[in-house]
Amino acid sequence: MSGVLCGECAKPSAHFDHEAFTVTYDGLSSEVTGLSGWRCESCGDIVFDPDSAERYAAAGDALILQARDRQARELKRIRTRLGLTQHSAAALTGGGHNAFSRYERGEVPPMPAVVNLFKLLDRHPDLLHELQAARPARRKPAHRPAASA
Ligand SMILES: [Zn+2]
């Protein structure tokens, strides 16, 4: 086959077969072999053949799940190290009382602010006491007798 033009620069593309590509995501990588498609001879842009595109995308999706799982385990490790329950960790970071349980099961990705806070607390666990001391204690509203006139 010939005559396929690059979608980026409209120069001719050449077909390739059985090549390996490395997919990366968040520091993780995975090699996908036996890929075929078209490579622009001018700018190098690549368009995979449909089945190769599917396999390449699937490898990327798998890495995303792997990264989410790694993050869930890391969050749990830090929370446990800090001596926090899931409930108290959620009270500290917001997101609802079940938030940590959901993060640690990988159901919901935590906000970057939560991840960043826990990374800092992992390196400086003494800061947890400062945070806990700064949080207002939960109190019932004080009962005030109605003012009498
Ligand atoms: Zn091109």
pLDDT above 70 covers a percentage of the chain that reads 89
Please state the domain extents for the chain. Answer: 1-67, 82-135
CA 15 to centroid of ligand 1, rounded, Å = 13
Q: Which CATH number fits the domain 1-67, given the four candidates 3.30.750.24, 3.10.20.860, 1.10.1740.10, 3.40.50.1220?
A: 3.10.20.860
Neighbouring residues of the ion ligand 1, judged by CB less than 5 Å? 6, 8-9, 11, 40, 42-43, 45
CA 54 to centroid of ligand 1, rounded, Å = 22
- CATH code of domain 82-135: 1.10.260.40
Instruction: Note whether 1-67 and 82-135 share their fold.
Output: no
Q: Copy the structure tokens of residue 110.
A: 């935590």
**74-88 pLDDT per residue, tens:** 999 999 999 999 999
| Residue 148 buriedness (CB in 10 A; 0-12 / 13-18 / 19+) | exposed
pTM of the model: 0.70
Residue 138, pLDDT above cutoff 60: no
Interacting residues of 19 by C-beta distance below 8 A, sequence separation 6+: 33, 34, 35, 36
Answer for the pair 42, 9: CB distance below 8 angstroms, yes or no.
yes
Helix (H) / strand (E) element for 66: namely: helix 50-81
CA 16 to centroid of ligand 1, rounded, Å = 15
**20-64 pLDDT per residue, tens:** 999 999 999 999 999 999 999 999 999 999 999 999 999 999 999
- Lowest mean pLDDT across 66-75, 99-108, 132-141: 132-141
